[in-house]
Amino acid sequence: MDVSHILNSLNDAQRQAVTADSGNLLVLAGAGSGKTRVLVHRIAWLIQMEGIAPAGILAVTFTNKSASEMRGRIETLLGHPIGGMWVGTFHGLAHRLLRAHWQEAGLSEKFQILDSDDQLRLIKRLLQTLELDEGKWPAKQCQWFINQQKDEGLRSTHLEHYGDDYNRTMLTLYQAYEQACDRTGMVDFGELLLRAHELWLKNPGLLDYYQHRFTEILVDEFQDTNAIQYAWLRVLAGKRGHITVVGDDDQSIYGWRGARIENIQQFTQDFAPATLIKLEQNYRSTSTILKAANKLISNNAGRLGKELWTDGTEGEPISVYGAFNEQDEARFIVDQIEQWVRKGRRRDDCVILYRSNAQSRELEEAMLRVGMPYRIYGGFRFYERLEIRNAMAYLRLVANRDDDAAFERVINLPVRGIGNATLENLRTIAREQRVSVWQAAQRAVAHGMLGARAAQNVGGFMNLINQLEEYSAEHELHLVMDYIIKQSGLIQHHEKEGGEKANSRLENLEELVNAAKAYTMEANGNNGEPTNAERLAGFIDKAALDAGDAQADAHEDAVQMMTLHSAKGLEFPLVFIAGVEEGLFPHKMSGDSLEGLEEERRLCYVGITRAMEKLYLCHAESRRLHGEENFSRPSRFIREIPAELRQEVRMKGQVSRATSWQGGIAAQAMGAPDSNNGLRLGQRVRHPSFGEGVVLSCEGNGNNARIQINFDAVGGKWLVAAYARLEAL
Ligand code: ATP
Ligand code: MG
């Protein structure tokens, strides 16, 4: 059989990995060395040369998008479709298993996915029920606690409080949370994985079936698996399965969510005998970019140690742009992209990466101003939009009346004269009788437990939902969606809001009808002819799981935007990293501990190594984030890149705060410091008694000029420049 097309475009080490004897294999290698490529080719090889049926293969990818890309590439290599193969994320695969085996998993048939927003709401309600003060027990922190336990595979029954007050409270909350989820048929993201693991442990027959079925397991981005994912793989592989994992310890960036780098180290023991193959040639980046990445990451201790080289061209230096503020930064980036496009290049080839989702708004606005199409991945996803969540809540209630989160979300949306007191009433009944709020409402109405008006309004709402369900039994999903939006009064509700916002919300609702239509077609294609109810349930899950990318049309050539975290595994000719500042990147939340700082550095390594041809690092002297103006220094990560690899850039005609300060008022006030150590806004200084701080602003001239400084220890102070005895740092 001619397999040259599978092996042709591989180097020796890659070929060795692709053709390695069926067994356990670890490919450990740096960014851009072809790990994902090896996985794709190995799957094609297994099917074509080892005669493995596609249905015998399970492949785990990092995002849904990479799953469909992987499938596409394998099909291209083989020249035919590979229907039965399972490819997906850990969450997606777990979900698929649980849907198929809900009974064995101890779930209700109609279980639904609780996304993190709903989860937070539920926790807030539970805190109230338990009479815990949210000031003392912040809901987010509680959410964090619960998720962390689940990522470690721990249920409340596994935990002990050891008499500690904090632990005791968290444990009580965790128990209440588990009960609430069970009662309402809700499954959060962590629960998907936990249940899927328990599914193996509790059902040996089922496990045996899947162990026989999936004889080849392949995992991309293995460095970011957490404890429960690792355990799930281990059980599935058992003694029979062969497992291939590829990863890079330097790109482990989900430690904060329980990912464990040690899994890589442990692999060769747990899955012995395992072959270890290292790839050392980078095919992605210019040598300048690669050198910068290598140098940066060498500042981390305890690495597994890999070499990475390229025979690619040197390429351009890395451009560092010091912006005046975040608007200037955004303008600069848009400007560079416009120049790129003028040279005949594609917008698709450009990505803007940022540390925090909140940074995207300014960038979006800058692009909107010049009419540049863009697409945001992750972040504010389509299905996370308020109006979409509202409409979906109706659909969820149609599918499952016991979905308390959905009930609470829309019972009085649009306004139906059902006040908080009535709702509180219903909650109490639900709590006392251990039923869902819907059932509580049914009982309350039937037994006259509500006032006449409240009973009428609640009854009206319930009739509406019942009526929607009747309609849904007879009609196609997108018609149901359309019907819901109209009958529920959501359209009028949003119309009343008025303005641009309302328009965009209404458009999104229309888009939801389209999405439902597209889903129906997809579902019909995949699984024969699902029933209306199955389609409806499937669509609800998709909405909860999917990262439905909105913004630019799918086919439009658009600039890509995403957080550094979601850029893993991707590559782009032109990369901008925005906000490379101390406090933002490394993030102040993580930068305090050595561990946290090293994870931030790995994240920066991931960012840099996305770039193929050209990389820009941008930082701003001042930035408004979460409503507060911050002044900061360029990130240490910039300094960690050797100076000869980078180049400072200025925009033409730009008046920077730095320049005007040095050249004008300030120069006089400071007794004309030379331009190298003159003070600038945002600069760090040291004062003999107040210690270190940041220059915030300057007023006046000459000897009377006053400077405002925010000192780390004592806060903001105005000082007379002439006497301040400030030392520039
Ligand atoms: P990351 O760590 O970022 O996930 P990776 O190790 O998975 O990177 P790939 O994405 O598989 O790397 O490959 C990086 C780029 O190099 C891709 O464009 C790929 O097509 C190309 N490439 C990999 N190996 C070869 C090769 N032998 N010949 C030509 N191009 C290659
Ligand atoms: Mg990869």
DSSP 8-class letter at 585:
T
List the structure tokens of 429: 């009944």
Examine the residue annotation and report whether 251 is marked as an active-site residue of this protein.
yes
Catalytic residue among 35, 150, 284, 680: 35
Please state which CATH class domain 655-728 belongs to.
mainly beta
**Which pLDDT tens digit goes with each residue over 432-444?**
999 999 999 999 9
CA–centroid distance, 66 to ligand 2, in Å, is 9
List the structure tokens of 546: 């999917």
Measure CA 115 to chain center: 13
CA–centroid distance, 570 to ligand 1, in Å, is 10
Query: Which residue lies with its CA nearest to atom 19 of ligand 1?
Result: 34
Q: Quick one: pLDDT at residue 257?
A: 79
Query: Of all atoms in ligand 1, which is nearest to the CA of residue 279?
Result: 6
Nearest to 416 by CA among 395, 394, 436: 394
Query: Of all atoms in ligand 1, which is nearest to the CA of residue 282?
Result: 16
Query: Which residue lies with its CA nearest to atom 21 of ligand 1?
Result: 283
Nearest to 350 by CA among 340, 364, 360, 335: 340
DSSP 8-class letter at 356:
S
Query: Which residue lies with its CA nearest to atom 11 of ligand 1?
Result: 34
Range 19-31 average pLDDT = 93
Q: Out of 2.60.40.10, 1.10.486.10, 1.10.730.10, 3.40.50.620, which CATH number does the structure's domain 382-546 have? A: 1.10.486.10
Which residues have CB under 6 Å of ligand 1?
A: 9-11, 14, 29, 31-37, 248, 251, 283-284, 569, 571, 609
**Which pLDDT tens digit goes with each residue over 564-586?**
998 999 999 999 999 999 999 99
Query: Which residue ranges does the chain devote to CATH 3.40.50.300?
Result: 4-101+193-281, 297-380+554-649
Map residue 318 onto helix, strand or coil. strand
Alpha carbon distance, N-terminus to C-terminus of the chain: 68
Examine the residue annotation and report whether 453 is marked as an active-site residue of this protein.
no
CA–centroid distance, 70 to ligand 1, in Å, is 13
Catalytic residue among 118, 191, 198, 221: 221
**Which pLDDT tens digit goes with each residue over 597-636?**
999 999 999 999 999 999 999 999 988 776 677 888 999 9
99-120 residues labelled b (16+ CB within 10 A) or e (exposed): bebbebbebbebbbbbbeebbe
Examine the residue annotation and report whether 364 is marked as an active-site residue of this protein.
no
CA–centroid distance, 341 to ligand 1, in Å, is 25
Give 260 or 457, the one with higher predicted confidence: 457
Query: Of all atoms in ligand 1, which is nearest to the CA of residue 606?
Result: 3
Contact indicator for 71, 87 with CB cutoff of 8 Å: yes
Range 77-99 average pLDDT = 92
Examine the residue annotation and report whether 35 is marked as an active-site residue of this protein.
yes
**Which pLDDT tens digit goes with each residue over 516-551?**
887 887 777 665 678 888 888 888 887 776 533 335
Q: Quick one: pLDDT at residue 1?
A: 55
Ion ligand 2 residue ranges (Cβ < 5 Å):
35-36, 569
Ligand with smallest separation from the Cα of 29: 1
Ligand with smallest separation from the Cα of 35: 1
Q: Quick one: pLDDT at residue 699?
A: 63
Q: Quick one: pLDDT at residue 333?
A: 97
Q: Quick one: pLDDT at residue 378?
A: 63
pTM of the full structure: 0.75
Examine the residue annotation and report whether 633 is marked as an active-site residue of this protein.
no
CA–centroid distance, 269 to ligand 1, in Å, is 27
Contact indicator for 459, 447 with CB cutoff of 8 Å: no
CA–centroid distance, 37 to ligand 2, in Å, is 7
Nearest to 194 by CA among 223, 216, 174: 174
DSSP 8-class letter at 621:
E
Examine the residue annotation and report whether 588 is marked as an active-site residue of this protein.
no
- With vertex at residue 36, the alpha carbon angle to CA 34 and CA 37, rounded to the nearest 5 degrees, is 60
Domain 4-101+193-281 = CATH 1.10.10.10: no
List the structure tokens of 404: 């308390």
Domain 297-380+554-649 = CATH 3.10.129.10: no
Peptide bond into 273 cis (omega under 30): yes
Q: Quick one: pLDDT at residue 670?
A: 37
**Which pLDDT tens digit goes with each residue over 664-703?**
333 333 333 333 335 676 778 888 878 888 877 666 555 5
Catalytic residue among 610, 646, 657, 684: 610
Q: Quick one: pLDDT at residue 618?
A: 98
Asked if residue 303 has pLDDT above 80, the reply is: yes
Domain 112-184 = CATH 1.10.420.10: no
Query: Which residue ranges does the chain devote to CATH 2.40.10.170?
Result: 655-728
How many CB atoms are located within 10 Å of the residue 525 CB? 8
Phi, psi of 411 (to 5 degrees): -60, -35
Map residue 729 onto helix, strand or coil. coil
